[in-house]
Structure 1
Amino acid sequence: MLQVMPGVNKIFAFFVPLLAFVFFEKKDQRQYTIHGYAQGTDYTVKYFATDSIVTKGEVDSILMVIDSSMSLYKPYSSINQFNASAKGMRIDRHFANVMTKSFEIYRSTQGRFDVTVKPLVQLWGFGVKPVERFPDSMMVSAVLKCVGMRFLSLKGNVLKKERPCVQIDLNGIAQGYSVDVVAEHLNLKGIKAYVVEIGGELRMKGPKPDGTSLRIGIEGPSESPDAEPAIRHTLAINNGAITTSGNYRRFLQMGKKRISHLIDPKSGYPLSNSLISVTVYSRDAITADGYDNAIMAMNIDEAMAFVSAKKNMEAYIIYHRKDGSIADTLTKGFKQLIVN
């Protein structure tokens, strides 16, 4: 039997960075905190206002609608209806928004990000159904015939597929989108300082009422494989989103063999390059969340060059050196976010 480590399944993003954010009160405003559970994980919304103008019920309602659209764990969801269809269907606005961004990232990363990986994700044991063993090369080759966003087309809100076997999995981007939708709800309510966090993906707006920046902690693996991850850096951010993708918190293990949950859509096999984790800063969470997975599929030189060429994007990357030791690097803009 294959064992998933750790044992908690999540609907969207699998790697959860440790977050630490603290607000301080100011006259006429107080901090409001909402905790809940959605999309297979915990969420937290913290904001400042003179009254509780955003409620847990509102947030839960927003996330429930998104789940009904793009959760593979909801039998009635739109994404499951699309996957079961032969040629495609008309989709809702949330689904269409995420697919539009997915096509953008697919083209920008030359196919390293590909939402049609669902059959591969399931084949390797990271899907909705458990598996008993790892696939052989013939099984991977057969499934690859159903993988590729070149088989998809989106016109308006009609998503079509050329092959009936094509199925999509939006786990690598939909949680970031969910963060953005909740954040936009707070913006519409006139809230000026907040942090929205879902499963470790977050977006924030500041400064806090006392004029100081919002702060979060970014964790990474320790040198010892048996040690708990530790906070690597503290960031001060007033506006933007931070998401992380990594391969050391979510994996499958059979005996001594361990594989990452991140699947290469081109080869059909789990990633096995030198990157350990990628933390991306961008203006919105859907962008950061979509690109962090794609960057994980690059080598360290490709990753740094790719991010450095992108406007409004910064990254912090932890990787293995050739001798097996752990190192980290970051873009110039990301370094400017770090505080002592």
Structure 2
Amino acid sequence: MAKQNVIKNNKFKNAFKIAAAALCAAAIVAIVIITGRQNADKAEKTLNTTVMGTTASITVYGRNGSDIIDDIMDLENNLDEKVISWRSDGSEVWNINHSYKAGEDYQISDELADVLERTLEISEDNGDLLDITIRPLAEVWGIESGSTNVPSQTDIDAALSDVDVTQVTCISAKNSSDGKPYVNIAKEGMSLDFGAVGKGYGCDVAADYLEETSVTGACVALGGSIMVYGSKSDGSDWKIGVKDPRAGEESIMGVISAKDGETLFVSTSGDYEKYFEKDGKRYHHILDPKTGYPAWKHTIAATVVCDNGLLSDALSTLCMLLDREAAMEAVNRYGAEAILIDDQMNVYVSDGLRDRFTLSGAGYSLIQE
């Protein structure tokens, strides 16, 4: 499938210009937003909250900030509770997981069909590693819910029998006989989980809404994904601090700088977000559908910068599942940029970010290739 289909229906800006609005609590696990002094003449509203099962922060510059934040929260809650969440009883994904019949078309909304189709395309183009049927394996490991036990190989193998993204097909409205979109899951016992793209897509939803408002700038952070829009109140350059994956929550290991005024998306995945250690080994929540175990390609954190939230979220996960060279190749194919940190504290920065990134963390080495 053509790569441009992956990022259709989204508004594009010039890539590699990065913006941020405030120090967003939700970005602690991924990135730190470094702002200049606030301009007292500019209205600024901030809400720190939770949505999509994660911490979130929304900052808006301009008039009617509180109302706009309320609208964004309504959009994110609607997306989560009515469409994309596997947790929310009654959402589209929950209903699919609990009532689909193997091999039969199941009608879905245009919005879910768009997310599903683009996610399946990204997965297919990258060895089926971005697996939205990973939920049975995630349940066996239980890392998200605080488990600190390594499951038996028998349990892992049993879960893997229900993990196979190639069994899922999206029938778009234009390709169906009745003009309605459908999902078809070929095997019983499977379930869908959009955790690898949901937060990023939530940032897309916020960006599309902001285009219809009069705000001058905004930052929406949903877990490890962040969207920055427009300009800071003081007009200064934007700076994004990349989280130090082996230090405290607010520690950074480097800074990305860019001019303000652009809409851009940044997502980070890492082995430090949800994990446990046992017998000297770290087990984290990003699971490899090929092995059944937490991904281990020597990358401990991956930050992806591009002009689309779903794509940035998907690619940051894929960067943890691919070896470094393959990860950089994948990022380049989609016109994105990345910063990868390996287990030897080496930092690799793609070409488009090299003149915008400054390494600051002690013990890290910037590798030029």
Q: TM-score, normalised by structure 2?
A: 0.78
Q: Shift of residue 209 of structure 1?
A: 4.5
What residue is the counterpart of 1:189 in the other structure?
213
- Residues 96-122 of structure 1: per-residue CA shift (max 9 Å, x gap): 222122112102212111111111111
- The change in CA–CA distance for 1:57 and 1:335 in structure 2 (over 3 A counts) is same
1:117 aligns with 2:134: yes
Q: How far off its partner does 1:290 sit?
A: 0.8
Q: Which moved more, 1:182-191 or 1:287-296?
A: 182-191
Residue deviations 1:226-283 (CA, integer Å, cap 9, x gap): x436311222343311110000231134565531211111222221221101000010
3-state SS of the aligned residue for 1:116? coil
**Aligned counterpart in structure 2 of residue 231 of structure 1, from 245, 252, 256:** 252
- Confirm whether residue 330 of structure 1 aligns to residue 349 of structure 2: yes
Q: Supply the distance in 2 between the matched residues of 1:198 and 1:249 (Cα, whole angstroms).
A: 14
Q: Residue in 1 aligned with 2:80?
A: 67
1:146 aligns with 2:162: yes
1:108 to 1:119, Cα distance in 2 relative to 1, 3 A: same
Cα-Cα RMSD = 2.6
Q: Which residue of structure 2 aligns with residue 198 of structure 1?
A: 222
Could you tell me how far apart the structure 1 residues matched to 2:224 and 2:165 are?
Answer: 27
How much has 1:38 moved relative to structure 2? 1.2
Q: Residue 304 of structure 1: SS of its match in structure 2?
A: helix
> In the TM superposition, what is the alpha-carbon distance from 1:309 to its structure 2 partner?
3.7
State the distance in 2 between where 1:14 and 1:294 align: 19
Report the Cα distance in structure 2 between the residues aligned to 1:127 and 1:249, rounded to whole angstroms: 10
Instruction: Report how far residue 143 of structure 1 moved.
Output: 2.5
**Residue by residue, what CA displacement relative to the aligned partner does 1:71-113 show, whole Å, maximum 9, x if unpaired?**
2222222212111222352223332222122112102212111
**Does 1:316 pair with 2:339?**
yes
- Give SS of 2:65's match: coil
Quick one: which amino acid aligns to residue 151 of structure 1? Q
| Residues 132, 208 of structure 1: alpha-carbon distance in 2 compared, 3 angstrom cutoff | closer
Task: Report the number of matched residues.
Answer: 318
Among 289, 293, 297, the residue aligned to 1:269:
293
Distance verdict in 2 for CA 1:212–1:165, change over 3 Å: same
Q: Secondary structure at the match of 2:143?
A: coil
CA distance in 1: counterparts of 2:291 and 2:27, whole angstroms:
21
Unaligned runs of 5+ in 2: 1-25, 173-180, 360-369
How far did 1:133 drift? 4.5
Residue identity (%): 22
8 Å CA contact retained: 2:128, 2:166: no
* Structure 1 length-normalised TM: 0.84
When residues 27 and 251 of structure 1 are mapped into structure 2, their CA distance, relative to the original with a 3 A threshold, is closer
Aligned pairs for 1:285-324 within 5 A: 285-311=309-335, 313-320=336-343
Return the letter of the residue paired with 2:130: F
Cα 1:132/1:37, change in 2 over 3 Å: closer
Alpha-carbon distance in 1 for matches of 2:167, 2:270: 28
Q: Closer, same or farther in 2 for the Cα pair 1:21/1:112, shift >3 Å? A: same
Cα distance in 1 for residues equivalent to 2:128 and 2:208: 29
Shift of 1:154: 0.9
Equivalences for residues 1-340 of structure 1 within 5 A: 16-22=29-35, 29-52=42-65, 54-68=67-81, 69-85=83-99, 86-87=101-102, 89-126=106-143, 133-156=149-172, 157-222=181-246, 227-228=247-248, 230-237=251-258, 238-254=262-278, 257-311=281-335, 313-320=336-343, 325-338=344-357
Residue ranges of structure 1 left out of the alignment (5+ in a row): 1-12
Once the 2 structures are TM-superposed, how far is the Cα of residue 333 of structure 1 from its aligned partner? 0.7
Q: 2 CA distance for matches of 1:165 and 1:187?
A: 41
- Within 2, Cα distance between the matches of 1:125 and 1:132? 8
d(CA) in 2 for partners of 1:14, 1:195: 11
Question: What is the rounded CA distance, in whole Å, between the counterparts of 1:15 and 1:50 in structure 2?
Answer: 27
